[in-house]
Structure 1
Amino acid sequence: MKLHHFFQRAAGAALATALLAAAPLSQAHEYKLGQLEIGHPYARATVPGQPAAGAYLSIENKGATADRLVGVSSPAAKSGEIHTMAMEGNVMKMREVDGGLEVKPGQKIAMQPGNGYHIMLMGLSKPLQAGDKVPATLTFEKAGKVEVTFNVEDGKAAAAGKDGMKDMKEHMHH
């Protein structure tokens, strides 16, 4: 009986160790660059033939001076652009942000589908599928560059019920 308890404890300890080892991988989807904290970078899955994908993250400036996201690049796309969305009458208009996206001291910008700012990965080399990991480099005016990974999530789940292809068609007509 004592041997049985030993194996139960050993198995329990091994499981706990495995869970603790895995936890940082699933939880640690945040990046730090100087006083900037980048949280949960993710992109929407795409369909074959879709030329671009929306990507999202949060940027929090914990410093005393403003910084500016001035560039995004990824080997999965020809270019990365920082866009803003706004309603003009009954039409959602998306435009590239001139000069980059300023993040003021103490400010947190949360890029989300259908809300304000987002990143467009233009000229995709292949469709993005849920579960893919897309490497990218974010370039800030003052803090410099940071390597991040956009986790590709199911477009329907990430869009909270919005049709990603409809959004893409609207985007291509801006």
Structure 2
Amino acid sequence: MKLASFTRAVCAIVLLSAGPLAAQGIMVNDAYARSSTAASTSGAAFMVLMNHSGSDDRLIGASSDVAAKVELHQHAEDSNGVMRMGEIEGGVPIANHETHIFKRGGDHLMFMGLKRPLQQGEMIKVTLEFEKAGPVDVEIMVDQDRKPEHGAMDHSKMNHGKMDHSGDHSGHGKASD
């Protein structure tokens, strides 16, 4: 009986100590959100997620105090060639040493039920929820003036395995503890 309790305690310590190490390997770069009007009920944010945690992970959700709900959304072409936006079912997988880009016209965070307008130049807090790494807090700048490729990072010289270098990498943001 004592051995079983000891084993459970050791397993709990190992699992709890693994969380922060994994979270430290998730990097969020170039994050920005679009500003909104007083009448807006939704908004969007974009960013580059990099996984250097040592294992594959999955972004399974997000939350923010600026909206009733934050969903992972995508733009996809239907069988008739029409672009449609909708929630990404099952989250966004990000393999170890890979990057996933949330960009205009593609995957993005969708703020549903805005509680207030997103104002140009302000910083909003968003918590990204990963399957393994757990919660990662991010500060995202609201930047309506941002144009595709403005402030883009050049990932072409970085050796992080297979990466998608196309699209909008622009934005400001930082992951915080």
TM over 0.5: yes
TM-aligned CA distance change 1:62 to 1:46, over 3 Å: same
Q: Specify the alignment match of 1:99 in structure 2.
A: 90
Out of 128, 135, 138, the residue aligned to residue 145 of structure 1 is: 135
1-side partners of 2:89 and 2:28: how far apart? 21
Cα distance, 1:44–1:159 mapped onto 2, change above 3 Å = farther
Q: CA deviation at 1:45?
A: 0.6
Q: What is the alpha-carbon distance in structure 1 between the residues aligned to residue 147 and residue 116 of structure 2?
A: 19
- Looking at structure 1, the residues matched to 53 and 140 of structure 2 have their Cα atoms a distance apart, in angstroms, of 24
The separation in 2 between residues aligned to 1:34 and 1:157, in whole angstroms, is: 28
| 2:59 aligned with 1:69 | yes
Pairing partner for 1:125 from 104, 111, 115: 115
Q: Percent identity, aligned pairs only?
A: 33
- Indicate whether 1:58 and 2:48 are aligned: yes
Is the 8 Å Cα contact of residues 113 and 158 (structure 1) preserved in structure 2? no
Q: What are the within-5 Å matches in structure 2 for residues 2-21 of structure 1?
A: none
CA offsets per residue over residues 24-49 of structure 1, 9 Å max, x none? xxxxxxxx933211112211011221
The structure with more radius of gyration: 1
CA distance in 2, matches of 1:91, 1:159: 22
User: Given that residues 44 and 158 in structure 1 are in contact (C-alpha distance below 8 angstroms), is that contact kept between their aligned partners in structure 2?
Assistant: no
- Which structure 1 residue ranges, 4+ long, deviate > 6 Å from structure 2? none
Deviation at 1:159, TM superposition (A): 6.2
The answer to whether the 8 A contact 2:58-2:94 is kept is yes
Structure with bigger helix share is 1
Deviation at residue 87 of structure 1 after TM alignment = 2.0
Structure 1 counterpart SS, 2:120 = coil
Aligned Cα RMSD in Å? 1.8
- Taking structure 1 as the reference length, the TM-score comes to 0.67
Alignment partner, residue 85 of structure 1: 75
Unaligned runs of 5+ in 1: 1-31, 161-174
TM-score (norm 2): 0.66
**Are 1:103 and 1:109, in contact at CA under 8 Å, matched by a contact in 2?**
yes
CA distance in structure 2 between the aligned counterparts of 1:99 and 1:58, rounded to whole angstroms = 19
**CA gap 1:112/1:103 in 2 versus in 1, 3 angstroms:** same
Report if aligned partners of 2:23, 2:53 keep a CA contact under 8 Å in 1: no
Residues 59 and 93, structure 2, Cα contact 8 Å, conserved in 1: yes
